[in-house]
């Protein structure tokens, strides 16, 4: 992998190039099986000292992401539920910009359809066409924990969805294609992540990433953006950044995708993340 290196100044000085990193979480910054972020913590600390913003862009809910933001000491805006909304801490951007509501110290830019509406539409599809559609809203925390490998506390946070439903589709390939077709006919979008299908309306990671790039450009001036992902649902985000990076999945292979200038890094999940970002930033 040949990557351009964006040099930064010594710790404590503004970086010569203002870098913003957009990153997926599950299977990318976090281990696919354990959800651990230990591998990336030393590098993240150095990135923070260098003034580099880290933006989570994940299917995880707000409350799930807040756990990792606190653990990693990250204060940047973050994108939840595959672009359903952008949460920005009050005062992070000193200039005025449009947002939809304020909650828990965040100014929220809402891009997706409310979760209850997505659930309503999926229920209609399930009942009208007698299809086996099962989402997190149909499961309790114990069932989600068993499916995902999350502990019960984490599974409870995964259920607190606001803009997107996560589906566990277990039928034949033909049955799954029919379900996805019906979801599209109903006006919703879907994507495939590392484990499940995600259903949303009016949003994706790319749209949210594009909005934040514009805001960061106002805040920082000229910026270079890096995006890191592992799955097909990361393509909209990766398409918006200057340098898109794809880490390997367990088994040491890359998701099949076509994207101009995509850099495929050797390294599964967080190990690939560290390898790519260290090389890109020179930190």
Percent of the chain with pLDDT over 90: 88
Q: Which residues are catalytic?
A: 24
Average pLDDT over residues 22-42: 96
Q: Which CATH number fits domain 115-200: 2.60.40.3880, 1.10.238.10, 3.30.980.20, 3.40.50.10320?
A: 3.30.980.20
Task: Name the residue ranges covered by the structural domains of the chain.
Answer: 18-111+204-281, 115-200
The CA-based angle 184-185-186, given to 5 degrees, is 90
pLDDT at 10 over 80: no
18-111+204-281 and 115-200 share one fold: no
Q: How would residue 11 be classed by pLDDT, with cut points 50, 70 and 90?
A: very low
Instruction: Give the pLDDT of residue 16.
Output: 57
Q: Which two tokens stand for residue 94?
A: 């000193």
Instruction: Give the pLDDT of residue 193.
Output: 74
Provide the CATH number for the domain formed by 18-111+204-281 in this structure: 3.40.50.1000
pTM given for the model:
0.91
Q: How would residue 3 be classed by pLDDT, with cut points 50, 70 and 90?
A: low
pLDDT in tens, 241-259: 999 999 999 999 999 999 9
pLDDT at 119 over 60: yes
pLDDT at 189 over 80: yes
């Amino acid at each position: 992998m040949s990557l351009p290196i964006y040099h930064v100044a010594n710790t404590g000085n503004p970086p010569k190039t203002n870098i913003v990193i957009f990153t997926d979480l599950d299977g990318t910054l976090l281990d696919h099986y354990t959800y651990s972020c230990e591998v990336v913590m030393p590098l993240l600390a150095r990135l923070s000292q260098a003034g580099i913003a880290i933006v989570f862009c994940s299917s995880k809910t707000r409350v799930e992401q807040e756990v990792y933001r606190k653990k990693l000491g990250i204060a940047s805006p973050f994108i939840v539920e595959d672009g359903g909304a952008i949460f920005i801490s009050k005062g992070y951007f000193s200039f005025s910009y449009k947002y939809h509501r304020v909650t828990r110290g965040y100014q929220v830019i809402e891009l997706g359809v409310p979760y209850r509406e997505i659930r309503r539409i999926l229920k209609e599809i399930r009942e009208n066409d007698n299809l086996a559609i099962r989402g997190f809203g149909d499961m309790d925390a114990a069932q989600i924990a068993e499916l995902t490998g999350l502990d019960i506390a984490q599974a409870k946070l995964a259920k607190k969805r606001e803009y997107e439903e996560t589906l566990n589709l277990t039928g034949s390939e033909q049955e799954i294609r029919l379900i996805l077709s019906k979801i599209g006919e109903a006006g919703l979008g879907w994507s495939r992540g590392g484990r499940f299908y995600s259903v949303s309306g009016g949003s994706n990671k790319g749209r949210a990433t594009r909005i934040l790039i514009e805001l960061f450009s106002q805040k920082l001036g000229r910026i270079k953006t890096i995006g890191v992902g592992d799955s097909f649902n990361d393509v909209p985000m990766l398409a918006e950044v200057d340098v898109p990076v794809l880490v390997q999945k367990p088994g040491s292979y890359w998701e099949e995708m076509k994207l101009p200038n995509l850099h495929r890094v050797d390294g599964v999940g967080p190990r690939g993340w560290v390898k790519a970002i260290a090389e890109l930033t020179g930190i």
